[in-house]
Structure 1
Amino acid sequence: MNARLAAGDTVLTAASMLRRAEAAQVYDVAQQTALEPAALVSARLGSTVLLKREDQQPVFSFKLRGAYNRMAQLGAIERTRGVVTASAGNHAQGVALAASRLGILATVVMPVTAPQVKVDAVRRFGGDFTRIVLFGESYSDAQAEAQRLCDERGASFVHPFDDADVIAGQATIALEILAQHPGPLHAVFVPIGGGGLAAGVAAVVKARRPQVRVIGVQAHDADAMARAFEAGVRVTLDEVGLFADGTAVKQVGALTFPLCRQYLDDVLRVDTDAICAAIRDIYQDTRSIPEPSGALALAGLKQYVSAHGAVDGALVAVISGANMNFDRLRFVAERAEIGEQREAVFAVTIPEQRGSFRRFCAALGQHSITEFNYRIGDAQAAHIFVGVQTAQREEREALAAAFRANGFDVLDLTGDELAKLHLRHMIGGRSPLARDECLYRFDFPERPGALARFLERMRPDWNISLFHYRNHGADYGRILVGIQVPPSEHALLRQFLATLAYPYVDESDNPAYRLLLRT
């Protein structure tokens, strides 16, 4: 799909983009969004952090600005032929709402991987004026199908980023930021997919206040702009990660690349854990939940401050969208602690003998345990998967050293994607060593040291054959424990359980346990 220059332009510059942005027709449907202080993040970073709340738009994304500005320029004949677009979701919603407001028929091609919340929103905003076509696994696949439909129907294509009118619509965000914060401003951070938002914001900021830095941020597995910067030409990625689906673009635009190359000061890459941590930061400061792409800018801002230290002047992060699939929240919550370096994950090997658990807990010191997985499997050594709450990277290294000082082999899994995604949930199975096993679920008050005290109360002559615990941020912790107790000592076991004063459920006869874990 060819890039489209606005009428009267031969080359896009900061000056021409500023004129286009000042004349853009966006406020028939879009609104000027708030520029809010992020008090908690600011205090932690030692810098003034402001959030540009594009998640407050009617379609919960900035994309409405560019879509409407482009469609408002269509002539009468073009409007009768309708429009076609390709989008992972947010641009599609902008086109749908613009179509219904302007009375233009729109066909929206979305990849089959688009979140359902975005597909449903396109239907809701577009009503009778919008038809949805699900095609391909990425934006690039959807774009190819959209091109075919345009050629077939003679319709106008509304590009999500490589169009001068679309870029100008997105650039109105920069006009608002500069008007809302006329004081000292160090940098503006913007997410990058195809580059429309970054190109527009960078051009306008440099035209108005050239001393202000503009920094683009990409997911590490969808970094087409960063790679283009490094290569000096546009590149096409073979694959893109889909966690930050709103910016999952294989190739940046022919118009956006030269603008970004000329006016962006840098492009940063951030990983999934950093994005999840930024989502949590935004929630804690605003009580709103951005989508992964919507949190990219803040993730990059935090990385920038970590590298450069506190700066003079405000730092602005554009929160570009909030079309979050609800079923992603569990994953986000689980990974946010690691992304903030507040959780370290280890595989620790301890001797399979009495007192080992207590020595292990002593090595932990005052650190709170966030996760504990263990299943007996070897007569000589116990392999434990443990998550520990930390405040900084140095604590992680100190913990590993403490484990080794106690004679425990340790493997730091904090950066291991396989362990974090899969293996932490797969520790278990049947074990021939788990004879006379009784299985219990316990609830206990979630306070520092509670898990360690629970372990200390266990009788030393009863072996723990299974243990699972995960901190879920609630007032009560929940653990699953397998205890090897001879039948002749079951009465003593009941006495022990009574002394704990923790609510518990005997799961020894649970059919799922018997099927999957019991020998």
Structure 2
Amino acid sequence: MAKTVATYFPKIEDIKRAAKVIRQVADVTPLTQSIRYSKQFEANILLKREDLHRVRSYKIRGAFNKISSLSKEELAKGVVCASAGNHAQGVAFACNYLGIHGTVYMPSVTPKQKVEQTKMFGGEWVTVILVGDTFDDSSKAAMKACQEKGRTFVHPFDDPKTIEGQGTVGLEILDQTDLPIDYVFVAIGGGGLASGLIGVFNALSPNTKIIGVEPEGAPSMKTSMEKGVNTELIQIDKFVDGAAVQRVGDYTFAICKDHLHDMITIPEGKVCQTILDLYNRDAIVVEPAGALTIAALDYFKDEIKDKNVICIVSGSNNDITRTAEIKERALLYGKLKHYFIVRFPQRPGALKQFVAEILGPDDDITHFEYSKKSSKENAPAIVGIELKSPDDLEPLISRMKDKNFFGEYLNDKPDLFQYLI
């Protein structure tokens, strides 16, 4: 098996064949210029809107291509997959469309919106099982079910047919523009989309530089490339659920390590600010993984000037109930939201003094937890303060210390922060 993995590379004729297969379920998605980002980066920034599929992500491509390749006997037994959400919806849609039974394993922390969409697309043909805390937990449960029941596992990224289906994104891009493409930014979870794009551009546009982008809290591909061996991460931040895996694929690692021009990670807070900007300024709704490639542009602003740049907007399956967390993470990343343990003197008027003499004119208290202790001179409170500018932080802390209110600054104490906030 190791030899097969090491020698597999997606062929352009197989990707073109996949394009014909998926044509019946996957519309060609738009390639549109972003006027705002083009102006901001002095480049021609084009967005490949994979968020506009009927299942709202590119995953329908690989899922349908893989399932369509199965024999009648394999289809009759049914299929199994594991997914954090988008691949699940692609598999569910394919099962319903083709009339075959599927079982979808999803992490228990999957946003409710993605679970409900999967059930809706699958209808009577699909059973959803929530298990584990990560994609990798769900994947192990799904593989076990396959072995016990003799069903086919539809891998979300580490399968040639899946990779070739995802590669059809690249064919569409090249059909949609006559411009020479200098850069393609692609989000990487397991690496299936990136591997498919590499297959296309290696054959048809070899001068195009493909940049892989991962969330900072789940750098499985970057870590593996740095170590030279596919490495499983023990812990990951699952917030960017569409691109948070503990271990990338063996096929995809072998392809990406040799052919990606660069591999970078983006802080989750930066991703959140990009989500908010896209919604507020462009009326585009994206999930965290869908914002990764656009968030990466800041890190290449000098390199991409005057270039033709493609950002793959990979999906829009975002749950509105996550908005508060998205805003919070964005504010923390922008150094506009700060948490403190404030030691209030136990005397009348202490809180009034804090508001009048400690807070700046544009500061706002957004979080306050206080419990009065009658036997102590000072009582601690957890206070969250939103600033207008990051430059307002040091003056705020100075005023707290001068008036004896300062206790602890929590933002730079992650363990204590997670426990108290």
With structure 1 as the length reference, what TM-score do the two structures score?
A: 0.70
Secondary structure (helix, strand or coil) at the match of 1:237 reads coil
User: Which of the residues 393, 396, 400 maps onto 2:394?
Assistant: 400
Give yes or no for the alignment of 1:213 onto 2:212: no
Query: C-alpha separation between the residues in 2 aligned to 1:205 and 1:180?
Result: 14
Is 1:345 matched up with 2:330? no
Q: Which residue of 1 aligns with 2:16?
A: 22
Matched, 1:191 2:184: no
Aligned to 1:233: 229
Give the AA of the match of 1:319. Answer: V
Give the letter for the 2:278 counterpart. Answer: I
1:320 aligns with 2:314: yes
Query: 1:386 — aligned with what?
Result: 385
Paired amino acid for 1:27: R
Q: Are 1:297 and 2:290 an aligned pair? A: no
State the secondary structure of the residue aligned to 1:323: coil
Asked whether the equivalents of residues 337 and 386 of structure 2 are also in contact (C-alpha less than 8 Å), the reply is: yes
Once residues 289 and 311 of structure 2 are traced to their aligned partners in structure 1, the CA distance between those partners, rounded to angstroms, is: 12
Is residue 269 of structure 2 the alignment partner of residue 276 of structure 1?
no
Amino acid at match of 2:257: R
- 1:38 Cα offset (Å): 2.7
Residues 416-456 of structure 1: per-residue CA shift (max 9 Å, x gap): 65687675x6xxxxxxxxxxxxxxxxxxxxxxxxxxxxxxx
1:200 aligns with 2:193: no
Aligned residue in 2 for 1:469 = none
User: Could you tell me whether the CA contact under 8 Å between 1:123 and 1:132 is conserved in 2?
Assistant: yes
Matched-pair contact (CA < 8 Å) for 2:41–2:305: no
Paired amino acid for 2:30: A
Answer 1 or 2: which has greater helix percent: 2
- Pair 153,243 (structure 1): closer, same or farther in 2 beyond 3 Å: same
Q: C-alpha distance in 2, partners of 1:264/1:416?
A: 35
Higher relative contact order (CA 8 A, sep 6+): 2
Partners of 1:405 and 1:136 in 2: how far apart? 47
CA positional deviation for 1:211: 2.1
**Are 1:344 and 1:389, in contact at CA under 8 Å, matched by a contact in 2?**
no
Amino acid across the alignment from 2:319? N
* Counterpart mapping for 1:166-185 below 5 A: 166-185=162-181
Q: 1-side partners of 2:184 and 2:84: how far apart?
A: 25
2:134 to 134, 138, 151: 138
CA pair 422-327 structure 1, distance change in 2 beyond 3 A: farther
Partner of 2:87: 91
Deviation at 1:402, TM superposition (A): 8.0
Residue aligning to 1:513: none
Alpha carbons 1:338, 1:344 under 8 Å: kept: yes
Alpha carbons of 1:373 and 1:26: their partners in 2 closer, same or farther (altered >3 Å)? closer
| Counterpart in the other structure of 1:123 | 119
Q: Cα 1:137–1:3, aligned 2, differ >3 Å: closer, same or farther?
A: farther
Deviation at residue 97 of structure 1 after TM alignment: 0.9
Amino acid at match of 1:320: S
After superposition, what is the alpha-carbon deviation per residue over 1:282-315, rounded to whole angstroms, capped at 9, x for unaligned?
213442321212222222223333xx46622133
Q: Distance in 2 between matches of 1:412 and 1:332?
A: 22
2:308 partner amino acid: A
> What SS class does the counterpart of residue 11 from structure 2 fall into?
helix
Q: Is the 8 A contact 1:301 1:315 kept in 2?
A: no
Task: Decide whether aligned partners of structure 1 residues 402 and 255 sit closer, same or farther in structure 2, where only a CA change above 3 A counts.
Answer: same
Contact 1:170 1:197 in 2 (8 A): yes
Give the length in aligned residue pairs: 406
| Equivalent runs, 1:367-446 vs 2, <5 Å | 368-371=362-365, 385-390=384-389, 396-397=390-391, 400=394, 404=398, 408=402, 417=414, 423=420
TM-score of the aligned structures, taking structure 2 as reference length? 0.84
Decide which moves more: 27-36 or 352-361.
352-361
Q: Runs of 5+ in structure 2 lacking a partner?
A: none
Is 1:37 matched up with 2:33?
A: yes
Please report how far the alpha carbon of residue 376 of structure 1 lies from its aligned counterpart in structure 2 after TM superposition.
Answer: 10
Aligned twin of 1:329? 323
Q: Aligned runs of 1:261-272 on 2, under 5 Å?
A: 261-272=257-268
Query: Using the alignment, how far apart are the partners of 1:379 and 1:309 within structure 2?
Result: 58
Task: Name the residue aligned to 2:105.
Answer: 109
Distance 1:12 1:405, change over 3 A: same
Aligned letter for 2:116? D
Q: Contact (CA 8 Å) 1:3, 1:253: kept in 2 or not? A: no
- Matches of 1:346 and 1:129, distance apart in 2: 48
Secondary structure class of the residue paired with 1:77: helix
Partners of 2:6 and 2:251 within 8 A in 1: no
Tell me the distance in 1 between the aligned counterparts of 2:224 and 2:267: 19
User: Structure 1, unaligned stretches of length 5 or more?
Assistant: 391-395, 426-519
Root-mean-square deviation (CA, aligned residues, Å) is: 3.3
Specify the SS of the correspondent of 2:276: helix
Change (3 A) 1:413 1:10: closer
Identity %: 33
Is 1:12 the equivalent of 2:11?
Answer: no
- 2: CA distance, partners of 1:241 / 1:312: 35
Counterpart residue type for residue 394 of structure 2:
A
2:245 corresponding residue in structure 1: 249
Q: Look up the equivalent residue of 1:98 and give its one-letter code.
A: A
Shift of 1:246: 1.8
* Partner amino acid, structure 2, of 1:128: E
Q: Residues of 1 paired with 2:96 and 2:397: CA distance?
A: 63
Q: What SS does structure 2 have at the residue aligned with 1:315? A: strand
The aligned amino acid for 1:22 is K
Report which of the two structures shows the higher radius of gyration computed on alpha carbons.
Answer: 1
Change beyond 3 A, Cα 1:250–1:335: closer
- Per the TM alignment, residue 204 of structure 1 is displaced from its structure 2 partner at its CA by 1.6
**1:388: Cα distance to partner?**
1.1
Q: Deviations over 1:172-196 (max 9, x none)?
A: 1112222323324332111111110
